[in-house]
Amino acid sequence: MASVSAPGPVEVPPSRAVQEFAARHYLACGAQQFGMDEPALAKVLAQVAAQGGVCGDDAAEQAFLASLRLEELILARACACGNHRAWEIFLTRYRSTLYEAAYKIAPTESTAREVADSLYADLYGVGAKGEQHTSKLLYYLGRGSLQGWLRVVTAQEYIKGYRRYRRETSLDAAVEEGLQFAAPEPDRSASDPRVESAVTAELAALDSEERFLLAAYYLDHRTLAEIAKLRGVHESTVSRQLDRIAAAARKRIRKRLMRFGMSARQADEAMQETDVQDLRVAVRETLQQAGPNSAFYTEKGGREG
Amino acid sequence: MKEKLPKPMRDALGRETAPADHPSSDLLAAFIEHALGKSETRSLADHLAGCAECRAVVFSASGATEEPMGAEDLQESPATRGWRTIAHAATESTAANRKPKRRRTWRWVWAAPAGVMFLLVGGYFAHRYFAPVPLTSQLASNATMEKLPTPGQPPQNVNPPGVPPASPAPVPTPKSRSEAKPGSGALAKKIPTGSTDSLEISSEGASAAKTEELHAKSEMPKPASEPSTIAVGEPPPAAAPPAPHANGFVPSTGANVQSYSYTSNQLSAQRAAVDALQPLHPGWRVTALGYLEHRTSEGWTRVLADRAAAFRAVTVVGDNVWAGGSEGALFHSQDAGLHWKKVSLPESNDAPPAIVSIHFDDQQRGVVSTDKGSRWSTNDGGTTWSRQ
């Protein structure tokens, strides 16, 4: 991952709305048990509001702060500050979440344990060589649950480790493992500028949600169940939406192509799923010598030769 | 999935790139939990559409959750409304100039007749199974329990083989359920009435009854080693029932519940008798030993345990509970069983008949039948009775 846009804590003087909010929620959020006083809470909230981009507008600030998971945010900040009581609570509540998420995301148990241990060290603010770092918990802003955030950072940690492993593995080792490198596919859709124009225009007309759905299903080959779980809808809903988007896109691209001067048949051919040039012939399998039993014609009755 | 995305479009989608600045893990977590607003969700989805890495993170983290968020929960959250609104708006935007908008109200037109049908069917079954029909008493008279022990007396479960019952059972009424079934009627004819084989059925005895019925239907002789008395389940306790509480409620031991003793000429009624074990009125029942029981939070509890009567019938109309049994015992409670009043029928016989059926149309009008065939009706909630 190139960069993470979540900035570190920035010193922002708390506004009046933030101070009022902090005063109202100081006792309820549990900051007191971690030795955090009301001004410190207001300072934390001001930082979070600034990172959320709602500084200046009192009403927006209040609404933004009200949407935060305040208790978990304070716990994370207290952990990042090294509060022992906070770490006790964190370990009691979230350690199992961390390791369970790692076990579900990573393919093997050893990898999962490695990912979870590495992340745990990051959360604690200790580097691989024992040096002190800023705790990763400072990046938790309370927009979602702390549990969900831990799952996300676990997934990021795993993907980061996977990419590091792929980068550090030599080509010879990869080939020995059975990895095959496919030749880059020529981009044939760009061969006809009319097709490219129609597709680009249609893609631009799609909503971001629709493009996300299409990318998840057609590019990442995510299952309907995975998409449905992420979106919180039923699989059939996702299926219907994909069907609708694909059918509408096909129809409109066809119309555009015909407007560009193509005949209906040409437009259909341009959108065909399989192009002749895309056909790959498995030469080795085709030329391979057949086995002795099947080398001769076999009648239906079972008589051979 | 029927439709496939046109290949040029898929290629173009793959060529899309996202800005180098990835969203923070905090935003991604909030996106997964649908905790973002509309604009933030839209901008994040825009990034995700072009960033395979962030998509991988989001799907990995979403897959690591224990369970998917319920649709009901999601419908309640404003963030989900944002998701749905955006998705709906997107769908509408693409479909706006393609199809005329279909009236969504027609989609649920079927719900109204379906609901009416459901209510009709439910009402029919409720009327059939929960109406105060004196089924217990009918079955009791049909099944002709050999010797219904009184509550204070341990029941005699095992009849010695070859010995007929001491008191012959009363003649079944012509419209009894057992005779209404053609199969069971034929079965009863095939079995000699003088047979003394008896069968005890406990609460688990339904399958044994069916087996016996199959034996009889196939007209196969029973094995010689088979005892003439078949005991299924635990025998009822020989000890006297526990002492009643102050209000006459005694906790039921459970072991003596649903233990019947039948002669073989009533085998056709076994199935019906097992059905009769089910309480006709929720919360009230008469056990096979003649105990009147009421369901409380502690389970089934004996009521009127201090009475020597063996109850045969119970019916409930609102808070009014009527229970009747041997020796003309008829009790009435107007407060759902808290207090009871003994009601006397104006029949002056030496041996008062047993009340086998109680049927009340409402709280005032009801009919009581005895095992001698007499019927008494009241129109004032049991204050006065007239013979029919």
User: Is B287 inside a domain boundary?
Assistant: yes
Yes or no, beta carbons of A214 and B20 under 8 Å apart: no
Yes or no, beta carbons of A229 and B57 under 8 Å apart: no
DSSP string, B256-310: TTT-EEEEGGGGGGHHHHHHHTS-SBTTEEE-TTS-EEEEETTEEEEESTTS---
* B296–chain A nearest CA distance, Å: 41
Any A CB within 8 A of B18 CB: no
Tens digit of each residue's pLDDT (9 = 90 or more) over B255-292 = 343 333 334 444 444 444 444 444 456 688 888 778 88
* Opening angle at CA A213, ends B97 and A153, nearest 5: 150
Q: Would you place residue B348 in the very low, low, confident or very high pLDDT band (cuts 50, 70, 90)?
A: low
Domain limits for position B306: 133-387
Any B CB within 8 A of A220 CB: yes
In this structure, the answer to whether residues B157 and B264 fall within a common structural domain is yes
Total number of domains constituting chain B: 2
Integer-rounded Cα radius of gyration of chain B: 34
User: Is B118 inside a domain boundary?
Assistant: no
Given a cut of 80, is residue B155 above it in pLDDT?
no
Among candidate residues B50, B82, B99, the one where a domain is terminated: B99
Yes or no, beta carbons of A189 and B5 under 8 Å apart: no
Lowest mean pLDDT among A247-251, B89-93, B355-359, B381-385: B89-93
**Most confident residue range from A141-155, A192-206, B126-140, B221-235:** A141-155
Question: What is the predicted pLDDT for the residue at A287?
Answer: 55
In this structure, the answer to whether residues B144 and B279 fall within a common structural domain is yes
Tens digit of each residue's pLDDT (9 = 90 or more) over A195-222 = 888 888 888 888 888 889 998 998 888 9
| Cβ-based burial of B75 (10 A; exposed 0-12, middle 13-18, buried ≥19) | exposed
Task: Mention every residue, 6+ apart, whose C-beta is less than 8 A from residue B261.
Answer: B145, B146, B147, B155, B156, B157, B159, B198, B199, B200
- Distances in Å between the alpha carbon of A231 and those of A224, B80, B83? 10, 9, 8
Question: What is the predicted pLDDT for the residue at B120?
Answer: 92
In this structure, the answer to whether residues B86 and B216 fall within a common structural domain is no
Yes or no, beta carbons of B62 and A189 under 8 Å apart: no
Mean pLDDT of chain A: 79
In this structure, the answer to whether residues B29 and B167 fall within a common structural domain is no
Query: How far apart, in whole angstroms, are the C-alpha atoms of residue B56 and residue A45?
Result: 31
In B, which residues are within 8 Å of A152 by CB distance?
25, 28-29, 32, 57-58, 61
Yes or no, beta carbons of B94 and A245 under 8 Å apart: yes
How high is the ipTM of this complex? 0.77
The average pLDDT across B356-360 equals: 87
Q: Looking at chain A, which residue has its C-alpha nearest residue B77?
A: A232
For chain A, the farthest-separated pair of C-alpha atoms sits apart, in whole angstroms, at: 95
**% pLDDT > 90, chain B:** 3
Any B CB within 8 A of A101 CB: yes
In this structure, the answer to whether residues B252 and B360 fall within a common structural domain is yes
The Cβ of residue B70 has, within 10 Å, a number of other Cβ atoms equal to 10
The Cβ of residue A73 has, within 10 Å, a number of other Cβ atoms equal to 24
In this structure, the answer to whether residues B91 and B172 fall within a common structural domain is no
Question: What is the predicted pLDDT for the residue at B233?
Answer: 40
Q: Which two tokens stand for residue B206?
A: 């339904």
In this structure, the answer to whether residues B206 and B284 fall within a common structural domain is yes
Q: Provide CATH 1.10.10 ranges for chain A.
A: 189-275
In A, which residues are within 8 Å of B80 by CB distance?
232
In this structure, the answer to whether residues B79 and B225 fall within a common structural domain is no
Q: Looking at chain B, which residue has its C-alpha nearest residue A250?
A: B6
Any B CB within 8 A of A251 CB: yes
Lowest mean pLDDT among B61-65, B132-136, B302-306: B132-136
Yes or no, beta carbons of B94 and A210 under 8 Å apart: yes
Q: Which fold has domain A189-275?
A: Arc Repressor Mutant, subunit A (1.10.10)
Q: Looking at chain A, which residue has its C-alpha nearest residue B5?
A: A246
Q: Which of A212, A234, A241, A269 to mutate to test the interface with B (most CBs of B within 10 A)?
A: A212
Q: Which two tokens stand for residue A209?
A: 């949600």
Q: For the structural domain made of A79-168, what CATH number should be given?
A: 1.10.1740
Q: Which of B15, B41, B57 to mutate to test the interface with A (most CBs of A within 10 A)?
A: B57
Q: Would you place residue A288 in the very low, low, confident or very high pLDDT band (cuts 50, 70, 90)?
A: low
Yes or no, beta carbons of A208 and B42 under 8 Å apart: yes
Yes or no, beta carbons of B9 and A202 under 8 Å apart: yes
Q: Looking at chain A, which residue has its C-alpha nearest residue B4?
A: A246
The average pLDDT across B179-183 equals: 38
User: Is B184 inside a domain boundary?
Assistant: yes
- H-helix segments, chain B: 7-15, 25-32, 38-50, 52-63, 71-76, 78-95, 111-130, 135-143, 177-180, 182-190, 206-218, 270-276
* A36–chain B nearest CA distance, Å: 23
Residue A199 main-chain phi, psi, to 5 deg: -70, -40
The C-alpha torsion from A153 through A155 and A161 to A162, rounded to 10°, is -160
In this structure, the answer to whether residues B139 and B13 fall within a common structural domain is no
Tens digit of each residue's pLDDT (9 = 90 or more) over A97-151 = 888 888 888 888 888 888 888 888 888 887 767 677 788 898 898 988 998 999 9
Any A CB within 8 A of B57 CB: yes
Taking a contact as any Cβ pair under 8 Å apart, which residues of chain A between 189 and 218 contact chain B? Answer: 189, 195-196, 199-200, 202-203, 206-212, 214-216, 218
In this structure, the answer to whether residues B53 and B138 fall within a common structural domain is no
Q: Looking at chain B, which residue has its C-alpha nearest residue A153?
A: B25
Yes or no, beta carbons of A158 and B60 under 8 Å apart: yes
The average pLDDT across B63-90 equals: 46
Task: Mention every residue, 6+ apart, whose C-beta is less than 8 A from residue B134.
Answer: B313, B315, B356, B357, B358, B359, B369
In B, which residues are within 8 Å of A4 by CB distance?
22, 24-25
In this structure, the answer to whether residues B261 and B215 fall within a common structural domain is yes
